[in-house]
Structure 1
Amino acid sequence: MILNLSQIKTEALLLFCKDLIESYKDKNDIEFNIDNEINEYINKTSNEIFKQLQIVTFSNDYYIKNRNHYRIKAVLNAYNFINKEITKELKKGKVFNPSMLYFSLLAVWFKELGKESKSKQYIYFTIYPYSLVYDKLLINIKDEKFKLMNIAMLEIAEKVVLKLDKISFK
């Protein structure tokens, strides 16, 4: 049984991002002063990415039912690693932007590290114009606290993804 660790880690990261989007989707409890246009852009982008995540990952029930299969077990181990590392980074009660976090996780994995660049399965994520979202969430933000929080999300994503890339799950 040979596993492609890059694909396992990619699937786990995508599954984590899907769960993150799903848990915060359609909630408007933003405490920051951001433009309506940017809020709508974030929602639209999240919906687009969520649809693509649903295409390339299985349902949560599938992962639960097949958790003893060696490949699914590896995906879930990688998922748990990501979850644990992000939980450590966020610390209890710390305000965070789930949109910027999932987005940064994807951008670091697919663009900065170039993972799955030859995989047709993940083509959407490898060609996505991440710079447009960075512009909207980092450069075009007037609320300084919101901008700093987004920068913190990017830093957390970089730390977690670099750790994920190095781990072997043996």
Structure 2
Amino acid sequence: MIINLSKIKTEALLLLCRDIITSYENSENENFFINEDIKNYINDVSKNILKELNKVTKDNDFYLKNRTTSYRISGILKAYNFISFELSKEFTDGVEFNPAMLYISLLATWFKELSKESKSKEYIYFLIYPYSNVYDKLLLNLKDEKFKILNIKMIEIAERVILKYDKYLLK
């Protein structure tokens, strides 16, 4: 049996992004002034991406139930844990972050910058998604300079983590 490591790593990343979205759904960051248009845009983007993530991933129970019986599932969970650990090193206690910009940057770095799964039809949505539109909304169209700086920090963190992840070998 041939196992595609790129697909395993992609699925793990998608699971992590799904968990980021669902964990921070409906949360408000009161430390910044963000107009309603931007908030609604972020919510709409998150809902749409979550819908697509749910199409290409299984529910969490599936992965947990099959972690010992499937090498592929075991690999997905190891890759998930690797990304999660790398992100936790980036975010020490009390550090603010924008989950929307983080998951968008993770996806954009993986699919657009590194061209992962560029020939995979099941991930076509993530390959053609206009990440630049989100970047424009969360960088160029903001008045709160602190929030812009935070969003730039999310991009930098995502790039560091994904570049390490790209080199990660499942063992």
Distance 2:165 2:30 in 1: 29
CA RMSD of aligned residues (A): 0.8
User: For 1:74 and 1:93, how far apart are their aligned partners in 2?
Assistant: 31
Show the counterpart of 1:108. Answer: 109
Distance 2:139 2:27 in 1: 21
One-letter amino acid matched to 1:94 = V
**In structure 2, how many angstroms separate the alpha carbons of the residues matched to 1:28 and 1:89?**
21
- Show CA shifts across 1:79-103 (max 9, x none): 0000000000111210100000000
Say if 2:154 is the partner of 1:157: no
Identify the residue that residue 139 of structure 2 maps to in structure 1: 138
Q: Deviations over 1:92-138 (max 9, x none)?
A: 21010000000000000000001001100000000001110000001
Partner of 2:43: 43
> What CA distance in whole angstroms lies between the structure 2 residues aligned with 1:30 and 1:56?
33
Deviation of the 1:31 alpha carbon: 2.0
Shift in Å, 1:2: 2.7
Question: What residue identity is the alignment partner of 1:154?
Answer: I
Structure 2: give runs of 5+ residues left out of the alignment.
none
Whole-angstrom CA distance in 1 between matches of 2:109 and 2:125: 15
Is the partner of 1:30 in helix, strand or coil? coil
The percentage of counterpart residues that share the same residue type is: 62
- Unpaired segments ≥5 residues, structure 1: none
Residue 147 (str. 1) matches residue 148 (str. 2): yes
Give the structure-2-normalised TM-score: 0.97
The aligned counterpart of 1:120 is 121
Q: Which residue number in structure 2 is paired with residue 96 of structure 1?
A: 97
Following the alignment from structure 2 to structure 1, what is the Cα–Cα distance between the partners of residues 37 and 27?
Answer: 16
CA distance in 2, matches of 1:64, 1:163: 25
Equivalenced residue count is 170
Equivalent residue, structure 2, for 1:56 = 56
Partner of 1:158, secondary structure, is helix
